[in-house]
Structure 1
């Protein structure tokens, strides 16, 4: 007589599963939606969601073994180059004119990186599809909220001082997260849903027109299309152009200024900004080696050390603050990261290239180098991409007929059908 199987219930495992579900719901749904209406939503809510994921993994230990994962991370050239950038930033505190603010900003940067690394190590080795399907749902909901605010924002957000800034940050997060969401849907063979998701995000950006997000979405779409057709070419172009522009950034004003003056006139704002950049490069060439020190680009404008029309792009700020050592280390880190992204799961490579291209475009147009909400948005994007990569462990479903034969064989006591 067969004994009735007794399923043991472990409250700790149930609690860990609940915490993980809440953490992913916060990261995939709440953060993108609330970011459309709250300026500090990304900075406040994202760490809470990551901490929930860390607690869940500490309870059920479903993450990858920490020692091998940590050693593999320490042996990664991209990680080592990134650590060199952080170390050089710390050393530059010795010659920065803004020691107090620079130290505080560097501490915030280090805390963001450490929390991202902890979240990365805490992610389960195998992600449940039920958790990952929250991502396209969250992006869709956030895009709908952005459309409503774009159409009726004046009446809905009347009296709010920071509504435009909040929506701008929310749309930036949407521009980044739409690519991992589309990559996840494509990996589940839901191409139509992926296309619909990209279209609704495009509508959200068009309703609240902002050149930065629209251009980033277009560049990301181009990288996605090229990589889908020619994977090697897409990866090579994305890595080469991004790292190359970062490495030769001081030459950009000398090349782009004549072309900009011919097209838009010598007094156009962009041309004047390039002229200011060109003057900074030629007046202090030795500073291209060491840089002016961490946090000098932002504080220098306020203190009068930099012209008010100096560029706000990351290409300028990285060279101005950290010089050739920090810029070349960052370029190598970016190049190695792009070449490594999605190598284990080729189906995700187009989405990864689109994400890199969109993020680099936003950084080049005018987001500050170490603005905390921007760094947090990048950290969220990294964790989302790692999550969908770990959701690709299942290769194919077993045939229905095979399942039926196995069940029938098990019910009549015969041997399992091979």
Structure 2
């Protein structure tokens, strides 16, 4: 085996086992993705030498690439007024390297995957789902055996990763008539693991993703794009007033039904962060300031009970987090990234288009209720999913092979 192929084969193994690694160790995906990215990068340079550099940089000069760079530049600029620059740099140190790794992986891996990689990934995802189901049925005994915490929530990150990865990986098999049973089995097994867990966000993402993928399959593209585009626009535009809207509109019966999800506290948290946005709407408090948000200048004018709710460290809504930390400029740049992404998705063939729309809907639903936007494991999961989506375009499997 040549050096380029050897590097890529090793990287393919790392890519394939991301969900299984997360099931066994729920913070492992950033490391696994970084290893995969380094191996594929080594393979690309071993194959092309210095000519690999333009290959890596070309997407960055597209409209979407420039929008992403603009958003990241604003994150860096916001460090100038962050009251906690060390905290901001620490958050950037978690998010930045993983973002670079997933960019390299999504750019280089799809054209270089050995033909056995998708089936290995399917087996790894199936084993990961079975591990989660078995852990829940056995009262978390496997976690105790591994010396880990045996609380049910330790499986939340793995199942959220399953939500992201299962659809794009299944779409790889769905284009081959004799492999569609593999796609269906993956989706069913992933759904079983997700719905068995205690993660309401994962269940919400699963439902949103499956529903949107089905709609994108049966409706003309313009309708699917309109649904997702409208949802994203509303989620971002209304984020600063989300708490007030929910406080006025959510019936008490729904709060009672969602008591295990702390819905009342989540509404109060959203109201508190929304009030902080109103106090400094233009530039935000600075990138990565969420963990110490009660101490930022915008929070000082709030009532004590409002500041108390800011102590959770994040607003349980990534759209609102962008507003709170990066202000209206950050929100506009984020909107540009989202809608240019939709423009790119619009030209995909039908099956990858449905999978991409499902992924966007699932990720947006989770981002609307989940933890911080800059977490490395979340970035790694998204990058893995995008890599598989691009792989289904780069080399769709024939009907007689994997």
Task: Output the TM-score relative to the length of structure 1.
Answer: 0.82
**SS of structure 1 residue aligned to 2:373:** coil
1:87 aligns to 2:73 (yes or no) = yes
Which of 208, 213, 227 aligns to 1:219? It is 208
> Residue in 2 aligned with 1:312?
316
Which of 199, 205, 212 aligns to 2:194? It is 205
1:229 aligns to 2:218 (yes or no) = yes
* Inter-partner Cα distance in structure 2 for 1:46 and 1:361: 23
* Inter-partner Cα distance in structure 2 for 1:377 and 1:265: 31
Which of 122, 137, 146 aligns to 2:132? It is 146
**SS of structure 1 residue aligned to 2:23:** coil
Which of 352, 358, 366 aligns to 2:356? It is 352
**SS of structure 2 residue aligned to 1:106:** helix
> Residue in 2 aligned with 1:406?
none
Q: Is the 8 A contact 1:293 1:321 kept in 2?
A: yes
1:47 aligns to 2:34 (yes or no) = yes
* Inter-partner Cα distance in structure 2 for 1:235 and 1:62: 40
Q: Deviations over 1:387-410 (max 9, x none)?
A: 22211397x99xxxxxxxxxxxxx
Q: 1:130 to 1:327 in 2, by over 3 A?
A: same
1:61 CA displacement: 3.5
* Inter-partner Cα distance in structure 1 for 2:89 and 2:323: 19
1:125 CA displacement: 3.6
1:102 CA displacement: 0.2
Q: Superposition RMSD on alpha carbons, in Å?
A: 2.9
Q: Is the 8 A contact 1:57 1:124 kept in 2?
A: no
1:108 aligns to 2:101 (yes or no) = no
1:338 CA displacement: 2.5
**Greater RCO, 1 or 2 (C-alpha within 8 Å, sep 6+):** 2
Count of equivalent residues: 382
* Inter-partner Cα distance in structure 2 for 1:131 and 1:56: 16
> Residue in 2 aligned with 1:343?
347
> Residue in 1 aligned with 2:380?
376
Q: Which runs of 5+ in 1 are unaligned?
A: 1-10, 398-418
Q: Deviations over 1:262-286 (max 9, x none)?
A: 5446997434543453355446635
Q: Quick check: which has more Rg, 1 or 2?
A: 1
Q: Deviations over 1:2-55 (max 9, x none)?
A: xxxxxxxxx5x2x33233222112211x22112112132112222112211111
Q: Is the 8 A contact 1:253 1:278 kept in 2?
A: yes
**SS of structure 2 residue aligned to 1:133:** helix
> Residue in 2 aligned with 1:257?
247
Which of 110, 113, 116 aligns to 1:130? It is 116
* Inter-partner Cα distance in structure 2 for 1:199 and 1:284: 41
Q: 1:211 to 1:302 in 2, by over 3 A?
A: farther
**SS of structure 1 residue aligned to 2:89:** helix
* Inter-partner Cα distance in structure 1 for 2:244 and 2:110: 49
> Residue in 2 aligned with 1:300?
293
Q: 1:341 to 1:323 in 2, by over 3 A?
A: same
Q: Is the 8 A contact 1:128 1:391 kept in 2?
A: no
